[in-house]
Amino acid sequence: MKKKPFVTKEQLEEIVKKYPTPFHLYDEKGIRENAKAVKEAFSWNPGFREYFAVKATPNPYILDILKEYDCGCDCASLTELMLADSQGFDGKHIMFSSNDTPAEEFKFANELGAIINLDDFTHIDFLEKTIGKIPETISCRYNPGGVFKMSNGIMDNPGDAKYGFTHEQIIEGFKILKEKGAKHFGVHAFLASNTVTNEYYPKLARQLFELVVELRDKTGCDIQFINLSGGVGVPYTPDQTPNDIRVIGQGVKEAFEEILVPAGLGNISIYTEMGRFMLAPYGCLVTKAIHEKHTYKEYIGVDACAVNLMRPAIYGAYHHITVMGKEDEPCDHKYDVTGSLCENCDKFAIDRMLPKIDMGDLLVIHDAGAHGFSMGYNYNGKLRSAEVLLKEDGSTQLIRRAETPDDYFRTFDCFDILKDMKHPERK
């Protein structure tokens, strides 16, 4: 089975004349259509908002597109908060969901008026000491422990996760937060990652809705929102059936009307914090075949490496590969597709059946729009690549330039030791 790229070979051949490979390419049309579909799927809930997980694709141009659909930002660090603030997101549109949080990050989130989502019971006192008070609106992350199961088996093991309050802690935490001045509350949970099933959000919602009724009854707190977080995945392999966000939204609605409405909690807002679902299919890594190697296996070396997309290297994750212009040719060659890092795990594919690859062929590595560029690093002195937006009219816009050696050495600029260093960009 195959995946169809959102860009044609002819388009790519023109794009690479302007932006040398490798680079990440994003599909504006797909991003917009998906954001619209998410908003419509939850339109039954007047307070609904998607807080895009900035960690997935931290680019101001992407945030600006999503902002047009009333998306907010889910931030987990100081720089993500700064990025959201720089693009004009107000406090109500910023959710700060962090863990093991430094004091200065709580301070900045509070200055922005962001909704702070506490990860741990001990953070109640830590937050109060850090900012001098408990905000009027506060959220807590819940971890039910145990194993999270659905009809298709075990999905994840929350009991082994470092995140969230236990059941007893969140009840006690709400009581303490209320005593300390909190007036409006939210509940947040993330129980499974990259689920490719329409069951996940509705089942999570039922669990949280029942918890919220219990919290209201035992603490008397005014609970205003329930954050389903992320976990809605994408079909990385071509044989998987994509999630249907409209079916998911309807499933959450049914649980809402069955549990919350009869309990007198029908005014609660539903929030989501999706990153992968919002962006992954609408970005790809474009790279070029530059070497071939014939030893104990057949290797194709490309000019991208795990620096550009590390998921296959660290997770063994599958990312589909299209050899542009050879979509209809038989996949009768078995290759390891590799990068140039001094690490044997630096492979985009292992024993992958592909058409015959010739040097200079352009390869599209699919579903790299989330947790792709953002997980990049500089091992071996490799430089991060550019990000390019394929606009709806077919034109392109550079939305992040590629790093240069000057960028790599920038943190030495307070010393004289490298002042006479020579490299290709210095004349």
- Altogether, the residues listed in the chain come to a count of 427
Catalytic site residue 342? yes
CA–CA distances in Å: residue 299 to residues 296, 353, 379: 9, 12, 22
Kindly name the residue from 140, 305, 342, 414 that is annotated as catalytic. 342
Question: Residue 253 and residue 131: Cα distance in Å, rounded?
Answer: 37
Bridge pairing between strands 347-354 and 362-365: unpaired
Instruction: Give the residue from 80, 71, 85, 73 showing the smallest Cα distance to 34.
Output: 71
Question: Residue 92 and residue 135: Cα distance in Å, rounded?
Answer: 13
Instruction: Give the residue from 297, 282, 307 showing the smallest Cα distance to 336.
Output: 297
Residue 92 has a CB neighbour count (10 Å cut-off) of: 12
Q: Is 130 helix (H, G, I), strand (E, B) or coil?
A: helix
Question: Residue 21 and residue 14: Cα distance in Å, rounded?
Answer: 12
Run of H or E including 23: strand 23-27
Token pair 């001990």 is at which residue? 122
Please, what is the Cα angle at 71 between 69 and 73, to 5 degrees?
155
Question: Residue 389 and residue 264: Cα distance in Å, rounded?
Answer: 46
Instruction: Give the residue from 156, 221, 162 showing the smallest Cα distance to 186.
Output: 221
Token pair 């997935």 is at which residue? 56
Which residue numbers are catalytic? 342
